[in-house]
Homo-oligomer: A and B are copies of this chain.
């Protein structure tokens, strides 16, 4: 209830601060007999790891994950999986100056007011360092989903620069430091972000997550709709300020005639949709089409340019954040968005197994 868990049947709980000895999590509800090794998880952590290009924070964390429980002889046992990553490159002295100051746009002020205390070092619990554990849990969620369900994300906009969707190539995403699917946009992003870094500023971004191969039927209306849970999942990621499913805000501009995703019968006897305005979710339940989620990340609030603020004594100050920060925290949000989508889907897959799958035997669509 204190907010450090996510999911219901596939449920994970994280702990740890940016500059504490370690971060960790417990993943509960994982079915037994799934193959799982530390390297299965490590592969995804490598994507999120800091310090891999000049466009992310220069903190050097190996992010080496250890499985402490729940796996026996290479397979899950159905018991909780404890994961741990030690913090090795804290440089807490960087934070000495802002120890008592509230960075504008940062969680400093609200944590202080809520709890009456705060671990100021590296942002403490409010740091995006916590997202490493989401990526780790996401790797396990993918095991639950199986190979037929693919979850991929890409950065589609940085500040005022957008990709050209005609150039979209998933293979390109891992070839550049921005997780950008448009090779032609990469040099534009590079120049743009270099300029912002030199100015002591930062910038926002938009990430798009696409889930393919999701079966029809996941999601629990009316309050645990799949889109509602995905929206919550993305909004829990640090700095996210908006979420869209399918056409999102554009849908508000459409008429009912335009927005209808018409259906026909495919050659394989399964429904074929003429469009995907809905982003793969109808009435809160997956439709079998690609699930498309987009989220907006605000610019990093820790910047080198002085901003007016207060300190904990109520004194007016000018805040300059030194430390090591991502100039565009949205970039590393890409693997985190993927992980949160995987976790949300895995949770609903288990929920669907419990209540619906196999009970509704007199059904369905002819196939």
Contacts and interface: CB of A to CB of B under 8 A. Distances in A.
Interface residues of A, number: 169
Interface in A353-367: 353-366
Nearest to A8: B1
Interface string A137-151: 000000000000000
Contacts of A281: 110
A351 interface: yes
A89 B80 CA distance: 22
B265 A221 contact: no
A241 to B, nearest CB: 5
Contacts of A168: none
Interface stretch (A43-51, A170-178, A180-188, A251-259): A251-259
A64 interface: no
Nearest to A113: B216
A255 B32 contact: no
Given A222-B4, A257-B201, A70 B15 contact: yes
Nearest to A260: B104
Contacts of A313: 366
A7 to B, nearest CB: 9
A163 interface: no
A41 to B, nearest CB: 15
Given A227-B235, A271-B310, A350-B354, A249 B206 contact: yes
Nearest to A159: B253
A296 B250 CA distance: 8
Nearest to A11: B1
Contacts of A102: 263
Most chain B Cβ neighbours within 10 Å, of A24, A77, A114, A360: A114
B231 A225 contact: no
8 contacts: A2-B80, A14-B222, A15-B68, A79-B125, A104-B260, A110-B287, A202-B256, A259-B299
